[in-house]
Structure 1
Amino acid sequence: MTIESRLQQLIDALNVSVLEFARQLGERRGEKVYHILHGRLKPRYDTIEKILVAYPQVNADWLLRGEGLMFKQLDSPSAAITTEERLRNMEFLLFQLTERITLLQQTNDQLLAEITALKSR
């Protein structure tokens, strides 16, 4: 999953518009965020930093690398995670697992087809 798609998921999970999200980062208009979301720009370090400052509940590892949960855990002092955010985290993890299962099934099907083709030779 790309950082652009994670950013879109974050905006959706926060239930804010792209314009509101951009304004929280100190942008007057949402053009820069729109360009990032559509792959025309890559987010720079300062943009990532602004996101993490504006939304301290966001897990930096998830945003940067797609690792872990979207939002920080409760035991983190700077994270006040709500039940709704926890549910979103669980939905996201289920989505990731479903994607992985689908990919594994496709790989399995391809391998079975190759084995069958080799046996018939």
Structure 2
Amino acid sequence: MEIGNRLQQLIDALDVSVLEFARQLGEKRGEKVYHILHGRLKPRYETLQKILQAYPQVNADWLLRGEGLMFRTLPQTPLAAITLDERLRNMEFLLFQLNERVGLLQQTNDLLRQELEEMKDKMC
């Protein structure tokens, strides 16, 4: 999954507009974020740092590589506690990832079966 897609999922999960997200990063306008979301730009290191600073609950591994949960577990203080909604979003995201993987495995399985049938036909 491309980083633009992950950013869109993050914006959706945070339930903020693209403009509000951009403003949290210190941008006056949302153009840079829009360009990243639409694949016209790749985020710079500084932009990724600003995202992680503005939203400390975001898992850096997920943001950079798409690995793990969208949100990381923070120390359980009233200000840093991950909400039930965020946990549900994490679960929904994991289910989405698993569903994508199952689909890819099914496609691979179908291709292998087709190749096996072709090999059987050649041998007969």
Shorter-chain TM range is over 0.9
In structure 2, the partner of 1:108 is: 109
TM-score scaled by structure 2?
Answer: 0.93
> Aligned pair in 2 of structure 1 residues 51, 76: CA closer, same or farther (>3 Å)?
farther
How much identity, in percent, do the aligned residues show? 76
Per the alignment, residue 97 of structure 1 pairs with 98
Q: Does 1:54 align with 2:54?
A: yes
Deviation track 1:1-32 (CA, whole Å, cap 9, x = no partner) reads 11110000000000001000000000000000
Query: Greater Rg, structure 1 or structure 2?
Result: 2
- How large is the RMSD of aligned CA atoms in angstroms? 1.5
Structure 1 pair 6/92, CA: closer, same or farther in 2 (3 Å)? same
With structure 1 as the length reference, what TM-score do the two structures score? 0.96
Q: Match for residue 8 of structure 1?
A: 8
Retained in 2: the 8 A contact 1:72–1:79? no
Q: Tell me how far 1:73 sits from its aligned partner.
A: 1.7
Could you list the runs of 4 or more consecutive aligned residues of structure 1 that deviate by over 2 angstroms after TM superposition?
A: 74-80
**Residue-pair matches, total:** 121
Q: Deviations over 1:70-118 (max 9, x none)?
A: 0002458895211100000000000000000000000000000000001
What amino acid does structure 1 have at the position aligned with 2:18? V
| Gaps in structure 1 of 5+ consecutive residues | none
Matches within 5 A, 1:30-109: 30-75=30-75, 79-109=80-110
Structure 2 regions of 5+ residues with no counterpart? none
